[in-house]
Structure 1
Amino acid sequence: MASITLNHLVKKYGDGFPAVNDISIDIADGEFIILVGPSGCGKSTLLRMIVGLEDITDGDLLIDGKRVNDKAPRDRNLAMVFQNYALYPHLTVYENIAFPLRLAKGKHSEDQVDKLVTEAAATLELTDHLQRKPANLSGGQRQRVAMGRAIVRQADAFLFDEPLSNLDAKLRGQMRSEISQMQRRLGVTSVYVTHDQTEAMTLGDRVAVLKKGELQQIASPRELYEQPVNLFVAGFIGSPSMNFLPATLEGTTLRTALGDISIPEDKARKAAGKRVVLVGVRPEFFEDAKLVEDSKRPHGSTFMATLTHTEWLGNEQYGYINFDPAPEMRELLNSLARDMDADELRPQVVVTLDAASRIRGGREAEIWLDTRKLHLFDAESGENLTRDAEAGAALTREAAEDRAEEIATAQQADRQGDSAFGNGSSGNGTSGAGNATVDAGAGRSGGATAAGGKHAAG
C-alpha cells in the first residue's frame, strides 16, 4: 500500500491543449479517491498519467514520496482494472488471474501461484468458474476476473478506469458493493474514474470533480453535496441535480420568477452587493406546504406555483415547475449546461414531495422551501457566495475518520473469519493488500485498447 501525490500535474498534447492542467491531489495510504466529471474533462488521462500510460508534461508524481515520472508502468507497482477488462480470450479464468504472477518468472512457485489465485477466486466468488474461458462468462464475472488479476499482484494501489460502464444497472449496483467491500477489506489505496453519479457518491472517501482539465473541488461526497464550491460542482453532483433559479436580491428577499422568497439574514449578508444571483436549491428542500410540520415552518418560505406534472415513485414523488428567465439569465443557464456536457439547462424547477401529497399537475399549489439550506451563486464567476468552508471541511474530516474505522473493522472481521475456518490464511485480510499491481502484459498494450489508443482527455 502507498500514498500517491500529484504535484501540479500537466498534460499537453502536440497542439498545446492542456488535457490536464495543474492538478494537485494528496491521496492517503488506503484512501479511495474518485475522479469524476463530464466527457473530455481529463479524468481518464489523469489516471493514465498515474499508471504510466501517458507521459507527464509538467509537475511531479510521487508514490510513497518517491518521484516516478520517468518510471515505466511495470516499475510503478500499480494494478489497473480496465473498462474493457483486457482479458486474454484463449486463457482460462485461472490462467488469466495467474498471468501477472507467471510474468514475474521465477518469483512465485507453483504452489504460491495456486494459493494466491484460489484465494482471489474465493474472494470474488469465481471458484466454480476457474476452468472457463472469458467468452463463456457474464459481464459481471469478467469484471471479477479482471479484479482478481489485480488482487493477486502485490500492488501499492488499485486504479479503476470506468470498470462498470459495460454492465447493466442491476449488475453495476452489485459490483459497486463488491468493489467497496473489497477495497475496505484489503485497505489498499484506490483511484477510480467514473462519470456515474451513484458510483462517485457511494464509493469514494473523497471525490475529485474535474472540468476541462482543471480540478474544481476535492472533498467527501457529503461536502460536495452540501457545500459545493461553485455552480459547476453544485450542478454536476446530485441526482436529480440542483435547481438554479435566477433572482435579484433586495435586502433579505429574493425576487424570482416563482415569486418572492425570504431568506435568512446571514445568507443575504454574504451576497450583499450582488444585485443578480443564481439561487441553488436541491429538490428535497421543497415540500407540500400542507404537510410541513409547524416546528419547521418558520425556517422556510412559501410560494404559489402550478406544477406541469408529477411523478409518483412510491416512497416519494417529483413535481415539475416551469419558469421563464430573462434572456441574459437563459444564456447563463445554457452556458452552465454546456460545461456539464448537456445541451441545455431547462428553465424548470424539480421539487421532491411526500408520497402522501395530493398536489397534481395543472393545479396551483402552495410550496414550502427550506431557506436555511439554499445556496446563492455569483451569476458571473459561479462562486458559491454562501458556502460554509469550515462546515464542509468538518464533513470531510469525519469521512476520513470513518474510512480508518471501516478498514480496521473489515480487516479484523476477515482475520477472525480466517481463524474460524482454520485455514491459516490472512491473504484476504491485511496481507491481502500485499497480494493485491499494472499487468505488464495487460498494462501498456491492454490500456491502449481500453482507451482506444487516442489522445483524448477524459
Structure 2
Amino acid sequence: MAPLSLKGLRKSFGKVRALDGIDLDIADGEFFCLLGPSGAGKTTTLKAIAGLEPPDEGRVEIGGVDMDGVEPYDRGVAMCFESYALYPHYTAYDNMASPLRSPRHRLPAAEARERIGRFAELLGISHLLDRNVGELSNGQRQRVALGRVLVRPAAAFLLDEPLSHLDAKLRQAMRAELKTIGAVERTTTLYVTHDYVEALGLGDRIGVIRDGRIVQVGTREQIWNEPADTFVANAFGKPRINLVPGEIAAGGRLRAADGAIDLPVDAGLAPGRAVTLGVRPRDLLLLRGDEAPPDGTAEVGARVYVTEVLGRQSEVTVTAGDQRLSLVVPREDASGLAPESPVRLGVPAGRVLLFDPSEGGRRLAP
C-alpha cells in the first residue's frame, strides 16, 4: 500500500494537450474514482502513473518516492486495461497466474492457487479457469483481466474502466465485489470511469476531470450537493440537472428569464445579476389537487410534455414558460398525467443551486 501524488502533470501528443497540469493526492488505502468523458485524460493519467507515458512536465510520487526514471516494472503498481491485454494462448488460470510467476512477485504454488481461486470466486469465473481466453466472451475476458491485476500484491491498483464490457446486472454485482475487495485488501486504488453511478457507489472520494484538468475533488456528498460548476452538476444524475437562465430580482428573489419561475433565495447577490438556476429532477415536487407547497417552497405552474414510466418511478417532463424541466416522482403520482395537462410544481429554495453563466458556469452561493 502507498499514497499516490501527482504534481503538475502535463502531457501532449503533437498539438493535443492530454494532461494540462494535473495535481492530485490519493491517500494510502483510498479507493479513488476519476470520472470524466472520453478524451478527458483519464487513461493518460493512469499510464503516466504506471510509467507507460512519461509526462512532459511534472512528477509522479508513489509512497513518497519520485518515479522519475523508474521503470514501470519497478513502480509496484498493477494496471487493468480496458482492452484486456490478455495472453491469447493462455488459459484464464494461466493469465491470472502470470504475475505470480514473475521473479518479482513469485509465490509458492499452493499460495498462488489459493489466491487465484479466491479472486476467481469473487469475480464469478471459477468455472472458466481451464478455458482458453479465446473461448470467452468479452465480459468474461474483462473479469479475467481484472482478476490478473487483483491477485498480484501491489502498492496501488490502476483500473481503467474495468466493468465497461459487462451487462448491467453483472456490473452492479461487480461494483459490490470491488468495494468489498477494496475494504479487505486496503490497497490504494485509482479507478477510472465515465459512469457517475460507479463513481458514487465506489469512491471514497471522487475527482472530475475535463480537458486534461481536474475540475473538482471531493466526497460523493460534496460532489452531489456542491458541484464546482455546471459541468460537474451535469455529470452526476439521470435525468440531468435542470438548468434555467435567470437573474436576481429585487427583494432577494430569483426569477427565470421568462418570469415563469420566481422564488426567494438567500444568495447575497445584487439585483440584476445574471445567474443560471440549477435544480435536480428528484428535488422538484409534483403538487396534486389543492395541495399547498411546503414552507420555503415556491410554486410554479407548468404543463405536461411527456411522461415516461421507469419501474416504480416516472420521469415527467414539463414546460414552464419557455423552459423544459424534468422531475422524477413515484409512478402512482404520475398516473393520469396526459400531455398538455396543467400541473403545479414545488421548487424548494434550499435545493436550488446558482451558477455564473459568464465564468465557465462556476457555482455561486448558496
| Fold-level similarity (TM above 0.5) | yes
1:272 to 248, 270, 279: 270
Q: Distance in 2 between matches of 1:223 and 1:258?
A: 31
Q: Distance in 2 between matches of 1:82 and 1:262?
A: 49
Contact conserved, 1:303 with 1:367, CA < 8 A, in 2?
A: yes
| Correspondence 1:385 to 2:364 | yes
**1:241-284 superposed Cα distances (whole Å, 9 cap, x missing partner):** 111001122122222236142123x22x1x32552110001001
Deviation of 1:290 (Å): 2.3
In structure 2, do the counterparts of structure 1 residues 10 and 259 end up closer, same or farther at CA, with 3 Å as the change threshold?
same
| Correspondence 1:362 to 2:340 | yes
Contact conserved, 1:84 with 1:163, CA < 8 A, in 2?
A: no
In structure 2, do the counterparts of structure 1 residues 134 and 363 end up closer, same or farther at CA, with 3 Å as the change threshold?
same
Aligned length in residues: 361
- State the one-letter code of the partner of 2:192: V
In structure 2, do the counterparts of structure 1 residues 87 and 250 end up closer, same or farther at CA, with 3 Å as the change threshold?
same
The equivalent residue for 1:372 is 350
Q: Distance in 2 between matches of 1:230 and 1:26?
A: 21
Q: Distance in 2 between matches of 1:44 and 1:292?
A: 53
| Correspondence 1:263 to 2:264 | yes
Deviation of 1:218 (Å): 0.7
Contact conserved, 2:99 with 2:105, CA < 8 A, in 1?
A: no
Contact conserved, 1:197 with 1:237, CA < 8 A, in 2?
A: yes
- State the one-letter code of the partner of 1:6: L
Local SS of the residue matching 1:298: coil
Q: Which structure shows the higher helix fraction?
A: 1
Identity between Structure 1 and Structure 2 (%): 36
Deviation of 1:115 (Å): 3.7
- Superposed counterparts of 1:5-24, under 5 Å: 5-15=5-15, 17-24=16-23
In structure 2, do the counterparts of structure 1 residues 131 and 24 end up closer, same or farther at CA, with 3 Å as the change threshold?
same
Deviation of 1:139 (Å): 3.6
The equivalent residue for 2:327 is 351
Unpaired runs of 5+ residues, structure 2, are none
- Superposed counterparts of 1:397-416, under 5 Å: none
Deviation of 1:106 (Å): 9.3
- State the one-letter code of the partner of 1:275: R
- Superposed counterparts of 1:252-331, under 5 Å: 252-256=252-256, 257=258, 259-264=260-265, 266-267=266-267, 269=268, 271-272=269-270, 275-290=273-288, 297-322=294-319
Contact conserved, 1:140 with 1:175, CA < 8 A, in 2?
A: no
Task: Please give the TM-score of this superposition, normalised by the length of structure 2.
Answer: 0.91
Local SS of the residue matching 2:288: helix
Contact conserved, 1:93 with 1:134, CA < 8 A, in 2?
A: yes
In structure 2, do the counterparts of structure 1 residues 324 and 303 end up closer, same or farther at CA, with 3 Å as the change threshold?
closer
Deviation of 1:285 (Å): 1.6
**1:120-169 superposed Cα distances (whole Å, 9 cap, x missing partner):** 33443433332111133344432332222112222011111111222222
In structure 2, do the counterparts of structure 1 residues 202 and 105 end up closer, same or farther at CA, with 3 Å as the change threshold?
closer
Deviation of 1:323 (Å): 5.8
Local SS of the residue matching 1:166: coil
Q: Distance in 1 between matches of 2:211 and 2:61?
A: 24
Deviation of 1:348 (Å): 2.6
**1:293-339 superposed Cα distances (whole Å, 9 cap, x missing partner):** 86x611200011111111223422211124676xxxxxxxxxxxxxx
Deviation of 1:110 (Å): 3.4
Local SS of the residue matching 1:49: helix
Q: Distance in 2 between matches of 1:88 and 1:188?
A: 25
In structure 2, do the counterparts of structure 1 residues 50 and 304 end up closer, same or farther at CA, with 3 Å as the change threshold?
same
Deviation of 1:51 (Å): 1.1
In structure 2, do the counterparts of structure 1 residues 292 and 282 end up closer, same or farther at CA, with 3 Å as the change threshold?
farther
In structure 2, do the counterparts of structure 1 residues 122 and 168 end up closer, same or farther at CA, with 3 Å as the change threshold?
closer
- State the one-letter code of the partner of 1:386: A
Deviation of 1:78 (Å): 0.6
In structure 2, do the counterparts of structure 1 residues 255 and 273 end up closer, same or farther at CA, with 3 Å as the change threshold?
closer
Contact conserved, 1:197 with 1:239, CA < 8 A, in 2?
A: no
Q: Distance in 2 between matches of 1:245 and 1:322?
A: 12
- Superposed counterparts of 1:16-35, under 5 Å: 17-35=16-34
**1:343-366 superposed Cα distances (whole Å, 9 cap, x missing partner):** xxxx63111233332433211111
Unpaired runs of 5+ residues, structure 1, are 326-346, 388-458
Deviation of 1:223 (Å): 1.1
Contact conserved, 1:140 with 1:171, CA < 8 A, in 2?
A: no
Bigger RCO (CA 8 Å, 6+ sep): 1
Q: Distance in 2 between matches of 1:83 and 1:119?
A: 23
Name the Cα RMSD after superposition.
2.2
The equivalent residue for 1:426 is none
- Superposed counterparts of 1:423-438, under 5 Å: none
Task: Please give the TM-score of this superposition, normalised by the length of structure 1.
Answer: 0.74
The equivalent residue for 1:412 is none
- State the one-letter code of the partner of 2:339: G
Contact conserved, 2:296 with 2:348, CA < 8 A, in 1?
A: yes
**1:79-133 superposed Cα distances (whole Å, 9 cap, x missing partner):** 1111122111211122111111223279444344334333433443433332111
Q: Distance in 2 between matches of 1:284 and 1:113?
A: 48
Q: Distance in 2 between matches of 1:274 and 1:220?
A: 34
Deviation of 1:32 (Å): 0.9
Local SS of the residue matching 1:55: coil
- State the one-letter code of the partner of 1:371: A
Contact conserved, 1:49 with 1:56, CA < 8 A, in 2?
A: yes
Deviation of 1:215 (Å): 0.9
- Superposed counterparts of 1:50-69, under 5 Å: 50-69=49-68
Contact conserved, 1:206 with 1:221, CA < 8 A, in 2?
A: yes
